Structures are given as structure tokens and as C-alpha cells.
């Protein structure tokens, strides 16, 4: 397996790829990679990795949707996962992700693809584990995204999302307003938490873990 990025499908039928690349830019990717090198995973990432590790990932295949520079992937591989497929809409992460993989000795165990799984679910295979961190809030059609993610999880699905409270809605609403003024078409969303879980359950998954945090909630499901 190679960590070379391949463009294997349509990108963002309901989303503008250019706005994603503007928002999640090369500069953003450098900042994320630098933070990981200096501090490791943040607290929410630790929750996702902890949940998966507790449920067994030895030899597991990982599908991460919107994995960015790949911090979670590297840690899951270190903890026993066998391989990773990463799907992105923005191409801005690839340089930093490649350097992190090289530095961690994980090159060859990660395949990075430019593909919107909600638009083209048949273009990527199933995996034992599916991960989405800070992804659902960046996608308008959460039903389609979570249905595709859940349908690709042979054993486990874990994802994070912003809590649906007035403060979060205010912050994200203000951020969206600023983007509109700057003529950036990217928007963030606070989707209904229970409805998201229901979509995943419709794919044959059962709720096993739910963490409610100040800035991010984490949900874990198992088949």
C-alpha cells in the first residue's frame, strides 16, 4: 500500500471543493502537523482512539473520512491497526500528511484518496473501522454522509460533532457570517445529535459510547 494520493472519484457533489481548499488550506495543514509533532493528539482525538483501542483494533483495517494530516491514523497504526485508507475533499493536506507518515515510519501502510464517500460510496471498500473527526459538521447532508460511513463499517464507527447547544450555534453562526462576508462558500453545521445516531443505527450499528464535551461530542457504535 502506498501513501501516494490518488483522485478516484467525484468530489463534493453538494459541496464546493474550492471553498474546502480555501478553508482547509496548506497553512491550516502545516499548523495541524506542527501541533501534532509538538503535543500529540488533542483530548477529543484521544477519546476516539481510546474507544477504538478498547474495542480491539489489532490487525484491523481503518477507513478515515476527512483525516486531515493523519494524526489519528498514525496512532491507530502504532496501536496495532494493519492499514488505513484516508478520504479527503481538500488536497491541501497531502504534503504534511506524507511528511508525518515518513517521520513515523508508517509510509506504505496508508492510502490517501481524493473522494467524497457521500457522493460515491461504491468507489471505496468496507473497513473494519470507520473514523470521522470534525467531519460531520463540515458537510451539509449529514444523512447521506453518515449512511455511507456506517455502511462501510464492518465492526466499528466512531465520529465527533459539535454539541447542539446555544453557545455552539452562536459561535458557528458567527463564523459562517464572516465567511459569507469574505465570499467563502464553506459553511459549518450543528446537526441534530440524536438524528445522526439514528442514521448510523439504520446501517445495523448499535450505540456503545457517547461522550458529551464542551466543544466536541464523541459517538461510538458497533455492529
pLDDT, tens digit only, all 223 positions of the chain: 544 444 334 444 456 667 777 788 899 999 999 999 999 999 999 999 999 999 999 999 999 999 999 999 999 999 999 999 999 998 999 999 999 999 999 989 999 999 999 999 999 999 999 999 999 999 999 999 999 999 999 999 999 999 999 999 999 999 999 999 988 889 999 999 999 999 999 999 999 999 999 999 999 999 9
Burial of 181 (0-12, 13-18, 19+ CB in 10 A): exposed
What integer pLDDT is reported at residue 5 of this predicted model? 43
Which residue's C-alpha cell is 459562517? 176
For 158, list phi and psi in degrees, rounded to 5: -135, 140
Whole-angstrom distance, CA of residue 83 vs CA of residue 93 = 19
SS3 track for the chain: CCCCEEECCCCCCCCCHHHHHHHCCHHHHHHHHHHHHHHCCCHHHHHHHHHHHHCCCCCCEEEEECCCCCHHHHHHHHCCCCEEEEEECCCCCHHHHHHHHHHHCCCCCEEEEECCCCCCHHHCCCEEEEEECCCHHHCCCHHHHHHHHHHCEEEEEEEEECCCCHHHHHHHHHHHHHHHHCCCCCCCCCCCHHHHHHHHHCCCCEEEEEECCCCCEEEEEEC
For the entire predicted model, the pTM comes to: 0.90
Amino acid at each position: 500500500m502506498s501513501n501516494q494520493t490518488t483522485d478516484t472519484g467525484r468530489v463534493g457533489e453538494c459541496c464546493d471543493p474550492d471553498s474546502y481548499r480555501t478553508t482547509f488550506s496548506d497553512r491550516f495543514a502545516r499548523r495541524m502537523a506542527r501541533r501534532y509533532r509538538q503535543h500529540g493528539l488533542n483530548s477529543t482525538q484521544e477519546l476516539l482512539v481510546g474507544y477504538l483501542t478498547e474495542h480491539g483494533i489489532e490487525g484491523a483495517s481503518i477507513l478515515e473520512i476527512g483525516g486531515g494530516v493523519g494524526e489519528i491514523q498514525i496512532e491507530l497504526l502504532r496501536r496495532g491497526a494493519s492499514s488505513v485508507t484516508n478520504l479527503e475533499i481538500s488536497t491541501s493536506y497531502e504534503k504534511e500528511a506524507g511528511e508525518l507518515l515518513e517521520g513515523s515510519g508508517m509510509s506504505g501502510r496508508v492510502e490517501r484518496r481524493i473522494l467524497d464517500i457521500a457522493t460515491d460510496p461504491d468507489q471505496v471498500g468496507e473497513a473494519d473501522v470507520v473514523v470521522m473527526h470534525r467531519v460531520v459538521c463540515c458537510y451539509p447532508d449529514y444523512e447521506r454522509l453518515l449512511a455511507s460511513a456506517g455502511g462501510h463499517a464492518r465492526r466499528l464507527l466512531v465520529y465527533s460533532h459539535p454539541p447542539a447547544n446555544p453557545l455552539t450555534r452562536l459561535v458557528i453562526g458567527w463564523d459562517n457570517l464572516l465567511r459569507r462576508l469574505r465570499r467563502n462558500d464553506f459553511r459549518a453545521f450543528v446537526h441534530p445529535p440524536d438524528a445522526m445516531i439514528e442514521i448510523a443505527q439504520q446501517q445495523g450499528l448499535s450505540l456503545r459510547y457517547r461522550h458529551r464535551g464542551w466543544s466536541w461530542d464523541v459517538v461510538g457504535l458497533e455492529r
